[in-house]
Chains A and B, each alone.
Chain A
Amino acid sequence: MNRLRSALGQTTRNRSRRLAPWLAATFAVALALGLPGVAAADFWTPESGGSPQADAIDNLYKFTLVLAAVIFFGVEGALFYSLYKFKARKGAVAAQIRGNTRLEIAWTIGAAVIVLVLAVATFIQLPAIRIPENSNATEGLDLASSGVAPGVLVASGPQQRLPPNGKSLNIKVNGQQYIWRYTYPDGDDNTLNNPFSYEEMVVPTETTVTLEIQAQDVAHSWWIPKLGGKFDAIPGYTNYTWFKVPAALEGTSFRGQCAELCGRNHANMTARVRAVSPADFEAYIAQRRQDTKAADEAAAKQRKEVEAPAAEQPDADKTSGPTASPGP
């Protein structure tokens, strides 16, 4: 009994000494990773919540993560167990095994089955990610009659996917060093007088927004993490994506930034998408139109004054434009 106990003690001591470095390392890594992991729920998964598309990607990711965790713990477990169990000891003899064809075929098939499962899961989720939903008929922007958007869209490229009812708010996104420009639809074919904005895109909630993404200088990449995946903006090509912000998130501003190296200030090429109610959106577009019109008129007036014969008004001060009126 005594001998047994002392033998046990011996084993425990040996074991703890053997395990010490592993444990220390595991602890250090767990500490480094675990603490912030607890603090942020999104440590393990991508951003989502702003659009059904982003949620579908998140679901697919989580499914893969669970499968990956099983494989990870299984394989690492087998590795650590062999390292611990088969450490060289006195008198131990290594088994001279050269292979096992059945076992090897089995795990080849096993690995193939796992990737097959992943492929099937991807194909199941794909339509929800790729194909835009219909806008919400009651809460969303009335795309047929608002005058902001054309009634029924025709896909502008082979890659563009439209909602089943063919109606969406189609915004053109243009990347340039180092800012994004958005062109909103105005219901006609002339794209030169459309309302536009830079950096911040304003969209109505519960309305399907389709994007046509282009670039005019170098390659950029459009990405608002909470609204879905990223799509490269490449000069000479048009890329497409979509999103639909739920009504509950009205007033939220989603942040994102260019995700493809585009030069020195790549880090500063930010983008925001602000979700507002459909009524506010129409008001915003009307405001943009009015602002553009006012600016055009001011510019026209200024041009007229500059182009006026210099002999009539020799005073240089008068030509500096309408905004330069003297006053407090």
Chain B
Amino acid sequence: MATTETPAPSSTAAAPPALPQIVAHKVERPNTGWTSWVTTTDHKKIGIMYLVLTFVFFILGGVEALLIRLQLAQADNTLLSPQTYNELFTMHGTTMIFLFVVPIWAGFGNYFVPLMIGARDMAFPKLNAMSFWMLLMGGIVFYASIFFSPPECGWTCYSPLSSSNYLPTSGVDAWIFLIHLTGISSLIGAINFYATIANMRAPGLGWGRLPLFVWTILTYSILLILALPVIAAAVTLLLTDRHFGTHFYDPSSGGSPLLWQHLFWFFGHPEVYIMILPGFGVVSEVLPVFARKPIFGYKAIAAATVVIAFLGLLVWAHHMFATPSPTIVLVFFMMSSFLIAVPTGVKIFNWIATLWRGTIEYKTPLLFSVGFIGTFLIGGITGVFLAIFPVDWQLTDTYFVVAHLHYVLVGGSVFTIFAGLYYWFPKMTGRMMFEGLGKTSFWLMLVGFHTTFFVQHAIGLDGMPRRVYEYPDVGNLELYNQISTVGSFILATGIGVTVFNVYRSLKKGPIAGPDPWKGNTLEWYTQSPPPANNFDSVPRIRSVEPMKDIRRQVARQGEPAEPQVPIASASTAPEQGLQPSSGG
């Protein structure tokens, strides 16, 4: 590669100031094929690898979910053994949270944060590559356990069940190392995002003009930095309890099982917002573009994001209302959980107000965003039920909670992930995804989702606890569970249609061009897919919607409304771009 060398300072004082010279010792050919992926530090390639890997885990977790639903399709079913069933729901929950939803936001963030703020890469590209490979290692360590003994303590791994007395097999250890490896991955990724967003914004891109998706990735990073050390400590204590004779969680030696629950949920509840806030960001980007209208209350949405993150750190014990705790503690966590409903409600109102008096174009990203609002609302409302601690005594640890958490995680996070996928696929690949398949996928997923999970509220209200491998056919339990199982297969079909859509659009999708949606943010300023250096020139940012300004400026100058077409960029002609030149 080219290096910059400053000539040795001249001995004569009268000589003119020395200019740096560029000397090329060697021009390396860019890697091609699989080595270009394995050795890359480019944020876009790392982003794509994140997206592909996490989607593979999504499909694995989905297959586990379908097996769970098959077992529950019949009362007193004997399809799966109790052990297999416990292993399946443990792997399902762990996979979806630690290997899908949290890291896929790192994938979208990796690809789009530098593009949206006008940077040429992340602040620490090598650290960025390390984040990705640590995630892969975590996934391998965890999934290797299926060849010996997967963990069977649920994704929460409550002590004392997770202690070596009750689960002596190494599955729990594989789970602990998954937490450590994916935790390190997320932690260094979060530091990288923070440094990038704080330091590498385009000229004029102040905090008040930062795209809302970038705001949410910033908040996501801060929450990860605050929450991950706690779970890392908690699982380390569990590891030493299991293997090195300590008794942090052992009540017979003065330890406390409740300590685990507190540490776990001190991480676990911020984790919920880590998974949903970037989704809020995607919706806040998609709605204005397809309603052709500015986002309603930019400052309120950005502020609500930060307030939700702050309050999200103060509500953890609402997962523990049934534990022996003083009433004052229960009241505190009820009130703090109530409070969090306020900024969340504000966001929903702002999104609807964004649609109000717009001209809404029914493209797939918009459908997923709107489907998210309608569905997430139900999850938010049932969350308020669960926050009332006496009511929670009836609902906690039942299928009502299972329904609630899937309304916020599937209706919330997964729908926004799909909105982001359909919205940004043209930027990442240069081709559009097929609209027909996209809409089919959306409707199948929406109907399948509600059929699967709405009825689960009633299953829980009728007294069926979660994490049971069988249930008696009392009342309508079997009928409700059958409806739920049918729904899960509709949902899976809908996801399958999108997978097929991705595969087909990669080869045959219509050519997108740099700005197919008439977007608002800077990623639409460059080519699709962007060249290795992202931008040849970075424009000065003058508002929240820089692309609108640029389009207006171009229209005023009477030129064709085409964004920048670079003359020679590094990806198309690397040799020319790196021609050695002498002198400044």
Question: Footprint of B on A, CB under 8 Å?
Answer: 21, 25, 28-29, 32-33, 36-37, 39-40, 42-47, 54, 56-57, 60-61, 64-65, 68, 71-72, 75-76, 78-79, 82-83, 86-89, 92-100, 103-104, 107-108, 111-112, 115, 118-119, 122, 125-126, 129-130, 158-159, 177, 217-219, 221, 223, 225, 228-232, 234-240, 255-268
Contact = CB atoms under 8 A, between A and B. Distances in A.
A21 B443 contact: yes
B393 A230 contact: yes
Interface string B475-488: 11001100100010
B208 interface: no
B213 to A, nearest CB: 18
A98 B339 CA distance: 26
Nearest to B452: A32
Given A219-B158, A259-B465, A25 B476 contact: no
Contacts, number: 283
Contacts of B251: 234-237
B123 to A, nearest CB: 31
B476 A32 contact: no
A57 B388 CA distance: 10
B160 A235 contact: yes
21 contacts: A25-B446, A25-B447, A29-B450, A32-B450, A36-B479, A42-B475, A68-B384, A78-B352, A82-B352, A82-B356, A82-B358, A107-B349, A108-B345, A108-B346, A112-B342, A119-B338, A177-B166, A219-B160, A230-B393, A261-B161, A266-B467
A111 B342 contact: yes
A153 to B, nearest CB: 18
B150 to A, nearest CB: 13
Nearest to A239: B324
B447 A107 contact: no
B384 A88 contact: no
A191 to B, nearest CB: 19
Find the residue from A76, A221, A234 having the highest chain B CB count within 10 A.
A234
Interface stretch (B185-193, B214-222, B274-282, B456-464): B456-464
B152 interface: yes
A256 B389 CA distance: 20
Contact of B294 (A97, A240, A268): A97
B298 interface: yes
B161 A265 contact: no
Contact of A57 (B334, B341, B394): B394
Interface string B249-268: 00110001110000000000
B412 to A, nearest CB: 15
Nearest to A121: B388
A23 B389 CA distance: 37
B358 A86 contact: yes
Given A122-B388, A223-B465, A258-B465, A230 B476 contact: no
Interface in B303-340: 322-327, 334-335, 338-339
Given A21-B443, A36-B479, A118-B388, A264 B86 contact: yes
A264 B150 CA distance: 13
Nearest to A29: B450
Interface residues of B, number: 96
B470 interface: yes
A234 B294 contact: no
Contacts of A57: 390-391, 393-394
B503 interface: no
B153 interface: yes
Contacts of B243: none
A279 B338 CA distance: 47
A232 B324 contact: yes
Nearest to B299: A99
A106 B318 CA distance: 28
Contacts of B132: none
A79 to B, nearest CB: 5
Given A45-B461, A47-B463, A236-B251, A99 B398 contact: no
B397 A267 contact: no
B384 A86 contact: no
Nearest to B154: A261
B360 A88 contact: yes
B361 interface: yes
Interface stretch (B42-50, B369-377, B521-529, B560-568): B369-377
B396 interface: yes
B230 interface: no
Contacts of B360: 82-83, 86-88
B384 to A, nearest CB: 7
Contact of A86 (B153, B357, B487): B357
A175 B388 CA distance: 26
B252 to A, nearest CB: 8
